[in-house]
Chain A
């Protein structure tokens, strides 16, 4: 590995000292003549307030017009897919939840559905567990779209919406904390069901949220929709039509904002979505304004789904009956988060040797998954979230690949930005709603 381009080194009394310089920047600007050349190269990011994390954009400008745009990703690569191969199947949930950190429930659910399909137990997952998954996913979709609204508003100069969006999202995170014990990185949806049941107080909180939210949504619209600056900055900006979206693999709200009602919950249903009543909002224009309208409408549709899921919740088990797969302990929320329930600890430590052995084996070794490969895709807030999981018959995943919508969608940025103004790069990039944790995995 050569270090000369990145960090020169010298020996000192205290050891070797590295001086980190600007990487490949010199080589990039060397090709342009700053005085006579009309074109300048601007480096945006990877640390920039409006790049949604660590995204680096290299823009070639002619005046204020973007002639070429290239995005550089990978700054947040953490090797989650590789790490999964060294942990057992259940432990995988705790890894995948950290990918797209704004939509953890979706990562977990897609993973759980893939493992269940490999195990062949898709139909054994209890109705209550599936309903809870739908409930959690739709709440998560609302919170994710709220963050999109908040950050995009801020990036286009509307600071107030940022505060409001995060305020309401916090309410959902409170609900998640009541249910899973954590605000983020829940590892709540597990292969076979969910980690533990929804407590009654959470139901009360969700009902309160449903009552409060329509008023808040109206506030957002009052604040933004009629606002001339907001409409100027979003209408006819970063347009991408259906052909462009499909060629570039763009799914989710961006595709729907171009007019194609492609939503996996409707077109290739999973988790019983075909039995719920909801609409797929679309918009004819394919611009940032359309994406804003689609996302706001999706929040409303998600609230309908949450309400229906709440009405469907009937008492029952939340984990498959198969003791070879179900987590041996009933988990409980304590003051320090989720853990084994005290009754279970008392049982395995004081009463039943067999339970202790069973618990130990299932927790340390895990269950075996028959060899094969599956692909499961769900509709995440950003588009199609696909999991390609391969088992070789062992207790650990042989290979898990995430088809991350953030990663695929970011490819559309040059198509949206080139030929437009530099200010519209921000609007276009934000309208894709990339989450770099998911993009780089």
Chain B
């Protein structure tokens, strides 16, 4: 929407060499979407350290033992699900939470086992949501499933990553009917396509909306509002305080 260069007659300062930090703090405004609100061209970071380059740490597999019930969950899944080695990309334990990174085409199978196996019993799918890791991951669209075992009072997170070019993965609605609306929301906001979903349409945005608003390359605001011929500029084009 705002991939055009700034043509509003607003002076744009020359960026000094090395000033683009790639610092996470500047990610949303410096993403291809635009330059943030009110013509703010930098990071909005006034610490003086805006030029520092932050290295993104790749998420690494956690070595065993994980501690707590996490080992039990992994062992139970390994035993109940023969294709474990193929389906689980890595296991991460961080801040007392267990995350299984699952190959996207296997997600429905894994959920089925997680729900039905007597040693796992994750009966409730608490949450399904998307996240966009633009620039950090080749397969930048992640789907995050939060499963809850009411029997054992445990939680586990499943994460599946797909690319924007092929944003497909199987729907888990057959296993967890509650995923219905939540998958629709992830489709609406991130454009992730859940194959086998009974009715994958937009849910929060209007049916004829273009684009997927919560992707990182989708600007905040930036929708021209028409009223009697007058056009209201998107927030990042309106005025520059410089």
Please give the residue numbers on chain A whose beta carbons come within 8 Å of chain B beta carbons, in ascending order.
1-2, 5-6, 14-17, 24, 73-74, 77, 79, 81-83, 85-86, 117-118, 120, 246-251, 260, 262, 267-268, 360-361, 364-365, 368, 371-375, 377, 384, 386, 388, 390, 392-396, 398-399, 401, 403, 407-408, 410-411, 440-441
Contact = CB atoms under 8 A, between A and B. Distances in A.
Nearest to B185: A407
Nearest to B54: A393
A48 B176 CA distance: 31
Contacts of A392: 24, 27, 56, 136
9 contacts: A1-B210, A17-B228, A85-B28, A120-B95, A249-B176, A251-B124, A386-B127, A386-B146, A411-B180
Contacts of B29: 86
Nearest to A73: B203
A118 B96 CA distance: 11
Contacts of A374: 95, 97
A374 B185 CA distance: 20
A74 B208 CA distance: 13
A372 B176 contact: no
A366 to B, nearest CB: 9
Contact of A77 (B37, B127, B204): B204
A437 to B, nearest CB: 13
Contacts of B203: 73-74
Contacts of B26: 394
A248 B72 CA distance: 27
Contact of A118 (B95, B129, B213): B95
A409 B26 CA distance: 36
Contacts of B185: 407
Contacts of A407: 181-182, 185
A73 B205 CA distance: 9
Contact of B150 (A14, A262, A398): A262
A440 B204 contact: yes
In this complex, the member of A24, A83, A86, A377 whose beta carbon has the largest number of chain B beta carbons within 10 angstroms is: A86
B131 A82 contact: no
Interface in B111-158: 123-127, 129-132, 136, 144, 146, 150, 153, 155, 157
A19 B145 CA distance: 43
A282 to B, nearest CB: 14
B238 to A, nearest CB: 15
Contacts of B46: 360-361, 364-365
Contacts of A410: 181
In this complex, the member of B124, B146, B206 whose beta carbon has the largest number of chain A beta carbons within 10 angstroms is: B124
Contact of A372 (B27, B95, B125, B206): B95
Contacts of B180: 411
Nearest to A266: B153
A82 B185 CA distance: 13
A74 B228 contact: no
Contacts of B37: 86
Contact of B178 (A17, A248, A373, A377): A248
A15 B177 contact: no
B23 interface: yes
A441 B214 CA distance: 13
Nearest to A78: B204
List the 8 shortest-distance A-B pairs measured between CB atoms, nearest first.
Answer: A249-B178, A15-B229, A394-B25, A394-B24, A403-B127, A392-B24, A401-B129, A74-B204
A15 B155 CA distance: 57
A1 B97 CA distance: 42
B184 to A, nearest CB: 10
Given A17-B228, A411-B178, A249 B126 contact: yes
In this complex, the member of B178, B208, B226 whose beta carbon has the largest number of chain A beta carbons within 10 angstroms is: B178
Contacts of B242: none
Contacts of B191: none
A408 B178 contact: yes
Contact of A394 (B23, B99, B144): B23
A247 to B, nearest CB: 5
Given A74-B204, A246-B150, A392-B24, A86 B220 contact: yes
B45 interface: yes
Given A86-B36, A401-B127, A401-B144, 6 more contacts: A15-B229, A77-B205, A365-B44, A371-B57, A407-B185, A410-B181
Contacts of B179: 249
A17 B230 CA distance: 11
B153 A267 contact: yes
B86 interface: no
